[in-house]
Amino acid sequence: MGANTSPEQDELRVFHTGDHACGYWPTRIARDLVLDPRDPRMPQLYPMALGWGFRRSGDIVYRPHCQGCRACVAVRIPIAEFHPNRTQRKCLARNAHVQARIVAAERTDEQLALYQRYLRARHRGGGMDEHGGIEFDQFLIGSWSHGRFMELREYDGPGPGRLLSVAITDVVDHALSAVYTFFDPDLPERSLGTLSLLRQIEWAKRDGRDHLYLGYWIDGHDKMDYKRRFRPLEAFDGRTWQPMREDAA
């Protein structure tokens, strides 16, 4: 399967993966479409691929393509139209003293320690809770992406501040893409996942970007439910991006 990028360029190759366990519904079998990871044009193709409903994991750019299931819906926030709701405004006010820093996508010991704490608390037994530095780099950074880390830190005196959250964020023409976020699992009252997205939206607005891509939303899945709270939201129907209905889920 392929699609021409231009008359002067080779065909873009897209592959089907084999069947594998679904990462969201344990009783289901999944398959993906994957752009050829060996294609040297991937840094240039990736922004277009986001617009086609794909997302990135390490060096792999993929889109779910499961037989008989279309539950995973790519969604994005139109930045100019977004306004935080009452709950989100309270989250921002509660964390007004937390500062966001945009840093290079390079792993530090402090980030790795927080990542491992997060995985042990949120994904114990799921195959990721033993990740070390190599897995961190492979999963979150990759070799060609134009990513940045957005750190959220709490300062109560001199020094680097307490690291609360790290949002791995890809920076492309006209958009940001939220790749993955991990945060202090012992502070549920701070709503650090929501706060990280709100700060990514602020970053996108400050830089004049059109969209923040959120990956996939799944109707009825608890871990994906938070995404529908960011309104307005656009969903990819396989051909075009359409406003998601306010009554969705």
pTM tops 0.75, yes or no:
yes
CB of 161 closer than 8 Å to CB of 99: yes
Least reliable range by pLDDT among 54-58, 134-138, 156-160, 180-184: 156-160
The pLDDT assigned to 8 comes to 43
List, in order of start, the domains of the chain with CATH numbers: 2-72 (no CATH), 76-243 (3.40.630.30)
- Max distance between CA atoms of the chain, in angstroms, equals 59
Dump pLDDT digits (tens) for 196-239: 999 999 999 999 999 999 999 999 898 888 999 999 999 999 99
180-198-59 Cα angle (round to 5) = 20
Query: pLDDT tens for residues 99-144?
Result: 999 999 999 999 999 999 999 998 766 556 678 999 999 999 999 9
| Confidence (pLDDT) at 130 | 73
CA distance linking residue 50 with residue 52, whole number of Å: 5
Residue 9 pLDDT: 55
Tokens representing 157 are 């005196």
Pairing, β 32-35 against β 12-16: antiparallel
pLDDT at 5: 40
